[in-house]
Structure 1
Amino acid sequence: MRSSCTAIVRFIIGILNILFGILFITIGIIGVLLRTNKDFLIKFTNAFADDFLSGVEKDSVQYVSNFILENDVQTSVFFIVVGFVIGFICLIGFIATCYSCSKLIQIYAFILTVVVIVQAVVVGVVFGVPRLYLTVIDTSLENGLEQYNPNTEEGKVAATLWDFVMGAENKTCCGMDGAEDFKKSPYAPTCPGFCCETQLPCLCDNAMALQPPVPGCREKVEKYSKIYMQRVLIVLICVIVAQAILVILTYAALTCKTASPI
């Protein structure tokens, strides 16, 4: 007979694998929807805007969503890969505990241990050096500056996104580092009104001549990026800790199995 210790631990492992499996497969599905379903992406973007930047008009959300759909591949790919891979691992763990297959449980425990270690290292590196993710965000926005032109269909997406950033939270800013950034855009020699402290666009030279000039948005972008990433970090730590507990329980089940009389 199996010991009650083995039965209880395996039951807990099975339940946790079901919960984690559902969670990560859902994350994978969200990644697919972010990549393929524009309506879902609009809702996702709107929720993000309401949470961090006090909302945005519906028309602007569509343009922001278009920009994300065209430029941000990393987020959706990350969701898809992590979601479905870990979801599959959880499925293996659930099957192993249901059929009391010690060999399969050992394989599952090893894979899960490796996954937890890799996740912990990646999270430690990324969040331990904030400049890594801030550089990615800054580069994406700087690429948008090079496309800024509200007078063309090609540049309207980037223009709407940047107008959104420059006017967010009623704290006006201009480009990443100031009006000079727009000299590299198709909109040159004109700058958006945010750079001139007016409702209408003005010449970049006039905006640069203001004393003091309108500051760039780099500080604002980095501030809200850090707030967002701190929330992400809390979620990731909770997930990694829960997975670590699952690893400990799995090895406990193997220990109980070995020690129990049959």
Structure 2
Amino acid sequence: MKKLSTVIGTMAIMAMMVTPAFAANLDPGAITGATSKDVNGTTTQTDVYSATVAWGSMAFNYAFGTWNPTDHTWNGAGWSAADFDGAKDQVKITNDSSQPIDAAFAYTKDSAKGGATTGTFTKVDGNLNETGELTGVMALDLCATDATTGPAEETYLNLQGAPAANTTAGKVGAVTVSLTTSPYSSTTELAKILDTTVSTVSASANTEVPVETAMTALAQAAVTSGYTVTMASGAYTPIDATTGTWVGKFTVTNDNTPSNTKTDAADRTIAVVVNIV
């Protein structure tokens, strides 16, 4: 019997090393047309104006006082102070608009029963006559996105002078509120204060107080008249003599409407260049 022989073949596996080819920039002379292009965009916004005017009862009593038969005068005449209680005399404006608005107030006496009455408006309640701080034009900031309520402000009617004698309730005058659009608000004014605007200052020394004073003056010049710029309260990094770094926030407040105020949401970090004067 023949013996079978088994032959086992072997195969050599050869590995080929491939060197990758890396991309190289083309010679600019081989390119037709620009290799970059600015991307431009425009935005559209449809503003909505909406405001609420809430009135107190506007019901007041005038007492002519007690007749003095000796000098023939009325003693103790005047409007009842108790009626000017912050509720009856209040006018409240709420701005739910996407832009700021202004509100102005005027009193007009009734031709028949108004007598010698005049009306003014103050920031605090109570019939303060001319001694209270007058409201003037009320500036209401735009309504913040997702805010629960819109910015609101109150003014209070003050009455002076005697109406015509009348024993029953009757119209002695009328208050008119004029609402107008406004390009100004604490929000829009704060946005005008650029870091570059206040980064180069002239101060008496390179320390926090004189530098912040100089920065505030420059920031004030950037906003519209009728708004005041201050440094927000809090702890700030002192001006570093080497890096000149300042960390802090600005606050912008409407002079006539203190509630119309806006503070930087986050600290600014500004490299201040100080010119010693």
TM value normalised by structure 2: 0.25
The structure with more radius of gyration: 2
Q: Which has the higher contact order (CA 8 A, sep 6+)?
A: 1
TM value normalised by structure 1: 0.26
More strand by share: 2
